[in-house]
Amino acid sequence: MSESSTWSGMQFGLMSVSDITRNPVTGETPSERERIQNTLTIAKHAEEVGLDVFAIGEHHNPPFWSSSPTTFLAALAAQTERLIVSTSTTLITTNDPVKIAEDYAMLQHVSGGRMDLMMGRGNTGPVYPWFGKDIRQGLPLAIENYALLHELWTNDVVDWEGKFRTSLQGFTSTPRPLDGIAPFVWHGSIRTPEIAEQAAYYGDGFFANNIFWPKEHYQRLIELYRQRFAHYGHGTAEQAIVGLGGQAFIRPNSQDAVNEFRPYFDNAPVYGHGPSMEDFTEMTPLTVGSPQQVIDRYAAMRDHYGDYQRQLFLMDHAGLPLKTVLEQIDLLGGEVVPVLRKELAQNRPETVPDAPTHAARVKAVYGDGPAREARPGANRGDNLTAGSPYQDGGAIPAAAGSSFGTAATKGAN
């Protein structure tokens, strides 16, 4: 499976929070098995209708099923040909950075580079003690753990000492990143300026999951990220890599969409018993209506946030049945996204980068030459001898990632 070479401009896709929610219309609740298999069907259908990305969240508590995103995404990659598989998000605070480095480098290899991941702290406070962490250290954990992850992917042999885990001496995470290019990382946030700062510091992407609060809040976060991205020397503010979330429920007739979605909105644990659907759609990107209404709403995102690289939609939530979700994807991929691609490409400055892909990042480093392939040498790298286990040794080429420092104390100045 090789990554498509036809990507350009923006990427459009789906994100799922993996909720198992009672259908308020039928009263039925799917089993875990049903929901997992249905999500695979949904993700594969996203590719069939021409979408670019499918991202899954990470949760370790009911009513969510996605406790092992890499397992699910590897299965999805094996059943698709060009879809980029991603996360929304990977918990950087409670996962061991060494295990993240290993798991996602493996996913990178088995998907042929068709992957990236989004780092975040999650939204479930009790997950911290479940994994032996202190929620009061959430931000310092995010900063130190990502600094180590970045180091593990950038350098073949790592010496490390930090506050929150045991030290490493002469350690090599395996497998090494595909083609010597670390997976592209988005840093996801709904509220925290320090995460925007961290994304800017490393020259990574920033994903503003703007599905709950008014646009003014996210405008401030994105503007901070853009300014600091330029400050750290990664390019101009407009060259920063930005992603956005969104939600839609679409029917050819807008009133049909409103009538059909209302019971799901009113009863969903995420939405229900709060603002009315009308108030929520006024305050957030949730758009319940016709394809043209969704087009108009999301074409205007560029006016709010500037040119950006990735737009993900939450479609399979709130207890919606599989048949309905697949119909939604048909409308999104058939009538909405093709128009958005054209509209958001108009007057897009040539200096604005395309959405990141593994193939493009490999070409940026190696040109038309062969990519680096790590091979064990005479020293097989048992993580005891502190020597390089690779014949070509050394670090990933600087152009493959940030060349800025990776000390545990850096990342959120």
**pLDDT value for 237:** 97
pTM to 2 decimals? 0.90
**pLDDT value for 6:** 38
pLDDT band at 406 (very low <50, low <70, confident <90, very high): very low
70 or 376, higher pLDDT? 70
What is the average per-residue pLDDT within 85-110? 95
135 or 332, higher pLDDT? 332
* C-alpha distance from residue 401 to each of 92, 150, 151, 318, 405 (Å): 18, 9, 11, 38, 11
Which of these ranges, 10-24, 78-92, 114-128, has the smallest mean pLDDT? Answer: 114-128
| Class of CATH domain 11-400 | alpha beta
* Nearest alpha-carbon partner for 269 in 39, 56, 21: 21
- Provide DSSP, 84-136: EEEES-EETTTS-HHHHHHHHHHHHHHTTT-B-EEEE--S-TTHHHHTT--GG
Strands 168-171 and 158-160: antiparallel
What is the average per-residue pLDDT within 302-309? 96
Residue 375 clears pLDDT 90, i.e. is over it: no
What's the token pair of residue 211?
Answer: 């599905």
The residues, any chain, with a CB within 8 Å of residue 238's CB and separated by 6 or more, are 226, 306, 307, 349, 351, 352
Domain ranges of the chain: 11-400
Q: In a 10 Å sphere around its CB, with 0-12 CB exposed, 13-18 middle and 19+ buried, how is residue 91 labelled? A: buried
Which of these ranges, 131-140, 304-313, 371-380, 381-390, has the smallest mean pLDDT? Answer: 381-390
Which of these ranges, 170-184, 189-203, 217-231, has the smallest mean pLDDT? Answer: 189-203
Nearest-angstrom CA–CA distance, 393 and 293: 54
Strand partners, 87: 56
pLDDT digits (tens, 9 = 90+) for 310-345: 999 999 999 999 999 999 999 999 999 999 999 999
Q: What length is written for the chain? A: 413
